[in-house]
Structure 1
């Protein structure tokens, strides 16, 4: 009987992971083509090293995407392409509207985006959710191209990842 329960939990977890990952596949397609606007109390730019730092009450928007953080760092490679965005907060938050009208939310102490690797990394009390379905862990990695999500939790909650989903939300 225990084996059947454990197997059902694994199947439920996989269904949730696929549902959350597939939702990001439907992000508004023109968001990345929209202007990037960043507002903060202080901004520091180092043109020699292609870095910009935004400090205190950082709000960044691009299309339907919205980031809130205490501090954000942007860096570009030698070709001028975005190399990394790193946001810090208590927590830093990110949300984006999907083509189906639903909004995906995430929050963590650090939000790192590596566009060259198509990787979004949430570090420190990380949570990603849509409606009432969510995944919590110490670290969540999401590949925006392969739509694969990996959650781990080695530091808190006894080293476990927690997931909750409502089957009726997955049907939508």
Structure 2
């Protein structure tokens, strides 16, 4: 009986090992704390899968995920801190503050986040925004570490990939104090 109870705590422990990309200067004492809330939670212990459903919200460091359903898959062959998060919803939402202060926000019918490679795969009405730049497509793959993005339209649709680029204004030397 004790072993079964111990295993029930494995799924939340899996999430504890997700790396936080918090800027250490801004980190709070609870920066490594993970807050998971949902209407239902269950664990499939043999498959190392945690399932969170209805009004799911996870806050961990500078990362926020909101979804109707979230699956956390632990992959033993990759080590202790290697998870795949699959969030679905109408839409599912992912947000992460980067070390440079910019915020990546992404939404889609399905958001897959590979913790080990820091790769986002967005499927179905995919949208991603960072530093004012926006991309909309049927599917988007974004390697956050390498800053590589690939967006594709639906083959059966006439809607194309849409990108909005916002020019970045450089500060002139001596204007640092000006609004």
Normalised to the residue count of structure 2, the TM-score between the two structures is 0.70
Query: What residue in structure 2 maps to residue 24 of structure 1?
Result: none
Measure, in 2, the Cα distance between the counterparts of 1:47 and 1:40.
19
Q: Deviations over 1:25-80 (max 9, x none)?
A: xx63568x723321100001122221110000000111121111000000112354
Unmatched tracts of structure 2, length 5 or more: 1-20, 172-179
For residues 38-53 of structure 1, what are the structure 2 equivalents within 5 Å? 38-53=36-51
Give the secondary structure class of the aligned counterpart of 2:99: coil
Residues 114, 120 of structure 1: 8 Å contact kept: yes
Runs of 4+ off more than 6 Å? none
Task: Give the whole-Å Cα distance in 1 for the aligned partners of 2:130 and 2:100.
Answer: 12
Q: Point out the structure with max Rg over C-alpha.
A: 2
For residues 151 and 138 of structure 2, the distance between their equivalents in structure 1, rounded to whole angstroms, comes to 8
- Superposed CA RMSD in Å reads 2.4
Instruction: Give the alignment of 1:11-160 within 5 angstroms.
Output: 28-29=22-23, 34-78=32-76, 79-130=79-130, 132-155=132-155, 158-160=158-160
Aligned residues: 144
Give the structure with the larger helix fraction: 1
Q: Which residue of 2 aligns with 1:12?
A: none
TM-score normalised by L of structure 1: 0.73
Bigger relative CO (Cα 8 Å, ≥ 6 apart): 1
How many Å separate the matches in 2 of 1:103 and 1:84?
Answer: 21
- 2-side partners of 1:145 and 1:95: how far apart? 15
Task: Show structure 1 runs of 5+ residues with no match.
Answer: 1-26
